[in-house]
Amino acid sequence: MPRYFIELAYKGTAYNGFQVQDTGNTIQSELQKALKTLFRVDFLLTGSSRTDSGVHAKQNYFHFDCDIELDPSRIYNLNAILPADIAVKGLYLVPGEAHCRFDAVAREYQYFIYREKNPFLADRAWLYPYPLNQDLLQEAAQIIIGYQDFTSFSKRNTQVKTFQCRIEASSWAMEGGLLVYTVKANRFLRGMVRGLVGTMVKMGRGQIDSAAFRAVIEGRDCTLADFSTPPQGLFLNRVYYNSEISGFLQPAG
């Protein structure tokens, strides 16, 4: 049976996360309803990356098997059915063994902070009106690259076999008046990016120094990190696949 990847972008403000769960509406449930409305059959979707309630994505994927021949032109019809805060960006026929979660080789997240009240950013960034030393934030971001065990930045009750993550890039920058943290890794733990940002902000405020920041990482204890960072500033920016699969993830024509 043919396998498809479907690429989405969404604003997560109104949703209780990406994948279907018992409580609240999700991105997956809305997409499944739209697919069934359009094609009159049920679709079993597998997600590439979980995002928490209120978190956004510029790119995320599901895969599914379907014996209906799906043409990329149907993207228009799907988008007409979906809510305004969810958009299908692509529909791709891929090899039958391709898996949108397990074949992902890296993911990139961005976290956005703004410094002055702005009603147009309130649901897409974190209002933080306090002084932050960008050099100290950058120092913290570089410290992270030297570690692989991120137990301290994983929320409780996370069912994973390992807390090892390989950080490929970690940096802060000013972009369009926003302070932006970008991090790329082979995998992320539940709550990891928000925990990193919250703890780095403490260093940027001068509340902890680099030695104390390292102590949080090396302590392997999630009570040491700061997870109070709000979800609306976080975006899943991109999901990376190896060249064999990414070659199929190109717009038709």
Q: Are 179 and 207 in contact (CB under 8 A)?
A: no
What's the CATH code, domain 3-102? 3.30.70.580
Catalytic residue among 22, 52, 65, 149: 52
> Within its chain, how far is the Cα of 71 from the centroid?
27
Helix (H, G, I), strand (E, B) or coil at 125: coil
Residue bearing tokens 């405020």: 205
CATH topology assigned to domain 105-237: Alpha-Beta Plaits (3.30.70)
Burial bucket for residue 53 (CB in 10 Å: 0-12, 13-18, 19+): middle
Report which of 218, 91, 222, 86 is spatially closest to residue 147, judged by C-alpha positions. Answer: 218
pLDDT, position 160: 81
Q: Regarding predicted confidence, which is higher, 129 or 244?
A: 129
Is pLDDT above 60 for 253?
A: no
Helix (H, G, I), strand (E, B) or coil at 100: coil
The reply to whether 3-102 and 105-237 are identical in fold is yes
Q: How far apart are CA 224 and CA 120, in angstroms?
A: 33
221 tagged catalytic: no
Q: How confident is the model over 134-172, as pLDDT tens digits?
A: 999 999 999 999 999 999 999 877 778 899 999 999 999
Q: How confident is the model over 70-83, as pLDDT tens digits?
A: 888 899 999 999 99
Boundaries of every domain in the chain: 3-102, 105-237
